[in-house]
Structure 1
Amino acid sequence: MLREGIFITGTDTGVGKTQVTAGLAALLQRLGEQGAAQREAAQGEAAHSEAYVRLWKPVQSGAALGLPTADSYRLLHGSGLAMREADIASHTFAAPVAPWLAARAAGAPLQFRDLVADGKRRLQQSGCLLVEGAGGLLVPLAEGKRMADLAAELSLPLLIIARTGLGTVNHTLLTVAYARQAGLEVLGVILNDSQSGSFELSRLPEAVQMAKDNAQMIEQFGDVPVLGILPWMAEDEHADAAGWAAWREQWTAEIESSVHLNVFYDLKNRRQRQ
Structure 2
Amino acid sequence: MQETTVVPYFITGIGTDVGKTVSSAIVARALNAWYWKPIQAGLEPGTDQQTVAALADMPAEKILPESYRLLKPASPHWAARDEKVQIDIKKITRDFRNILEHISKTSSGKQYLLIEGAGGIMVPLNEKQFVGDMIKQLSIPSILVSRHYLGSINHSMLSAEYCRMKDIEVKGWIFNGSYGHYADEICHWSGLPQLAAFPELPAITPETIAAQATEWADTLKRIL
Bin the TM-score by the shorter chain: 0.7 to 0.9
TM-score (norm 1): 0.71
Give per-residue Cα distances to partners, 1:42-78, cap 9 Å, x unaligned.
xxxxxxxxxxx211101111224xx44x212101111
Q: Tell me which amino acid in the other structure corresponds to 1:156.
A: I
Counterpart contact for 1:15–1:163, Cα < 8 Å? yes
Partner of 1:135: 119
Which ranges in structure 1 are unaligned for 5 or more consecutive residues?
A: 30-52, 194-201, 237-246, 265-274
Q: Offset at 1:88? A: 3.6
The yes-or-no answer on 1:109 pairing with 2:86 is yes
Percent identical residues = 30
Give RMSD over aligned pairs. Answer: 2.2
Relative contact order: is structure 1 or structure 2 higher (C-alpha 8 Å, sep ≥ 6)?
2
Distance in 2 of aligned mates of 1:14 and 1:88? 22
Report the 3-state secondary structure (helix = DSSP H, G, I; strand = E; otherwise coil) of the residue aligned with 1:7.
strand
Distance in 2 of aligned mates of 1:123 and 1:137? 23
Counterpart contact for 1:218–1:226, Cα < 8 Å? no
Partner of 1:199: none
Q: Offset at 1:167? A: 1.7
Counterpart contact for 1:61–1:98, Cα < 8 Å? yes
Partner of 2:16: 13
Distance in 1 of aligned mates of 2:172 and 2:54? 26
Q: Offset at 1:128? A: 1.6
Name the CA shift for 1:189/1:2 in 2 (closer, same or farther; >3 Å): farther
Distance in 2 of aligned mates of 1:235 and 1:98? 27
Identify, as 1 or 2, the structure richer in strand.
Answer: 2
TM-score (norm 2): 0.85
Partner of 1:215: 183
Q: Offset at 1:253? A: 2.1
Counterpart contact for 1:57–1:89, Cα < 8 Å? yes
Report the 3-state secondary structure (helix = DSSP H, G, I; strand = E; otherwise coil) of the residue aligned with 2:67.
strand
Q: Tell me which amino acid in the other structure corresponds to 1:128.
A: Y
Counterpart contact for 1:230–1:258, Cα < 8 Å? no
Counterpart contact for 2:55–2:209, Cα < 8 Å? no
Counterpart contact for 2:14–2:145, Cα < 8 Å? yes
The yes-or-no answer on 1:61 pairing with 2:41 is yes
Q: Tell me which amino acid in the other structure corresponds to 2:119.
A: G
Report the 3-state secondary structure (helix = DSSP H, G, I; strand = E; otherwise coil) of the residue aligned with 1:63.
coil
Name the CA shift for 1:59/1:234 in 2 (closer, same or farther; >3 Å): farther
Name the CA shift for 1:14/1:2 in 2 (closer, same or farther; >3 Å): farther
